[in-house]
Chains A and B, each alone.
Chain A
Amino acid sequence: MGLALFLVVGCLVFIVGTIVWKGLPALKLSMIFQTPKGGFYLGKEGGILNAILGSLALAGGATLLALLVSLPIVLYLNVYTGRRSRTAGFIRFSFDVLWGVPSIVYGAFGFLLMVFIGLRTSLLAGILTVALLELPIMSRAMDEVVRLVPRDLTDAAYSLGATRLETAFRVVVRQTLPGILTAVLIAFGRGIGDAASVLFTAGFTDRVPTSLLQPAATLPLAIFFQLGTPFAEVRERAYASAAVLTVLILAISLISRAAVRKYSRHTIR
């Protein structure tokens, strides 16, 4: 127990510590509130606002899209099909396989898809690809909580004359809202932190994206490009960017915890 705690907390402290330690000298307000100026990647003026906003837009859009697809799937699996349904078992198995597919494969697949439908590297293409990446993660995480809804609770709704649809959205979703939120945020965290899937699909740009059809910068790629330069001050900025990404994810989990607490008032235990 003590060892496990030490390993987990130790890892966290070590990673965050390193990033902050190495990135702190470069972490200025201009870093967060400016887009790259000419020569930014050679150590000149500018910031990573393009990547921060790009990442938020991309992960936000992808998470929304994944939610719109996965919530109905999960409700279907649990409310419409029986507990021993083979189809449901097969769908769950497929999600497990998809979960294990490396994100570069999603990137390559997304790229192929783009070529096929004639889409350029753009925010939209990135959103589609990352949504695909997030879908199995979100669905499986949601499925785990929705599965735990007691049979008696759904029976109570049915016995009041509710249809399956009404039971799903008015009772099951309400009961599992905290778990659904958690699933959404796990997926969001995974989406915002992924570099490989957006490499070919969202591209990279120094401007803040204003349309779905423009390319968009993302934090993981900003880190990647900055780390790959021979200039020490630019590499320092890579760590600063990593710190920004970490803080962003941390902030989102804190907000989500507060939200979960607020929405779990009605949950039946």
Chain B
Amino acid sequence: MEGFRTHISIQNLNVNHGSRRILKDITLDIPDRRITVIVGPSGCGKTTLLKSLNRLLDPSEGLRVHGRILVDGENIYSPDVEVTHIRRKMGLLSQKPQVLPMSIFDNVAFAPRIHGLREKKTLARTVEHYLKLAGLWEEVKDRLATPASELSVGQQQRLCLARGLAAEPGIILGDEPTSALDPQSSKHVEQRLIDLKSDYTVVVVTHILRQAKRIADYIVFLYLGEVVEHGPAEKVFERPRDPRTRAYLTGEIS
């Protein structure tokens, strides 16, 4: 991959639900400290691909995963890998922000606490640091003890970002992270992701092409469970090689 260092390497990934193939033989390298955007029409397997990175696909619901995903050179589907260890490496932003049923402070302190941080002053400093990083500190610094559910949806999404960052991941995953937000809040979240890419590998799923153009360094076009085309963003947007990509970019398939 020209000019990029690989952070996540997906090799021959297949996901099946019964006899239905949701993801077909995906091989893909995701670059380190860049924003990779996965685009494609709805139902093409974008979210499944994202969740497979985090091992959130539940085998008890009949989903079978085959193939390898290497993160920092370690196969996360290897049987001796601990799943909590994998998930800690990635912060997740879901479509609708899911704050935890506790105060703003406790939300951000959740991951540090379960990973053993008890000391109050350090916790307070950690929470402040990550709220600032997510661009939320100024708005909530006087009401850290109020329930997180009282924040606006846009603020909740940034709280989720802060909470995810506090787990000290190297990767941020976003599953259409702005789809429930108003344009102003969306812009806010997009800007945060751009600011964060100097330190984090960001993978975002979206069906909004304009958003992809605004933030993407690297584009993956997924169609009916297959990677049709992937490459540096400007290249794919300006000179798509595959006719299906061209059709998607011009709005013929959506």
Contact = CB atoms under 8 A, between A and B. Distances in A.
Contacts of B160: 156
29 contacts: A82-B61, A84-B61, A84-B62, A150-B98, A152-B96, A153-B98, A153-B100, A156-B92, A156-B98, A156-B160, A157-B110, A159-B54, A159-B56, A159-B90, A159-B91, A159-B92, A159-B164, A160-B164, A161-B87, A162-B84, A174-B100, A174-B101, A174-B102, A175-B101, A265-B147, A266-B102, A267-B101, A267-B149, A268-B101
Given A266-B101, A267-B101, A160 B110 contact: yes
B70 interface: no
A161 B61 contact: no
A266 B148 CA distance: 7
Contact of A160 (B60, B85, B149, B163): B163
Given A156-B160, A267-B149, A161 B167 contact: yes
Nearest to A155: B56
Interface string B81-122: 000110110111010101111110000001100110000000
B92 A155 contact: yes
A161 B111 contact: yes
B84 A163 contact: yes
Nearest to B115: A161
Interface string B135-149: 000000000000111
Contacts of B94: 152, 155-156
A94 interface: no
A261 interface: no
Interface string A257-268: 000000001111
Interface in B198-231: none
A85 B61 CA distance: 9
B58 interface: yes
A82 B98 contact: no
B61 A266 contact: no
Interface string B36-62: 000000000000000000101011111
A216 B2 CA distance: 82
A241 to B, nearest CB: 41
Which interface residue of A153, A155, A156, A157 has the most chain B CB atoms within 10 A? A156
A170 interface: yes
Contacts of B100: 153, 156-157, 171, 174, 268
B94 to A, nearest CB: 5
Interface string A180-219: 0000000000000000000000000000000000000000
Which interface residue of B56, B100, B114 has the most chain A CB atoms within 10 A? B100
A227 B96 CA distance: 60
B58 to A, nearest CB: 6
A76 to B, nearest CB: 13
A225 interface: no
Contact of B87 (A83, A159, A175): A159
Interface string B54-77: 101011111000000000000000
A266 B87 contact: no
A85 B58 CA distance: 12
B101 to A, nearest CB: 4
Contacts of B149: 266-269
Which interface residue of A150, A153, A155, A161 has the most chain B CB atoms within 10 A? A161
B98 A160 contact: no
The 3 tightest CB contacts between A and B, nearest first, are A82-B60, A161-B88, A159-B92
A261 to B, nearest CB: 13
Contacts of B164: 159-160
Contacts of B147: 265-266
A171 B114 CA distance: 12
B113 to A, nearest CB: 9
B208 to A, nearest CB: 20
Nearest to A152: B98
Interface string A226-269: 00000000000000000000000000000000000000011111
Which interface residue of A162, A163, A170 has the most chain B CB atoms within 10 A? A162
A45 interface: no
A160 B85 CA distance: 10
A34 interface: no
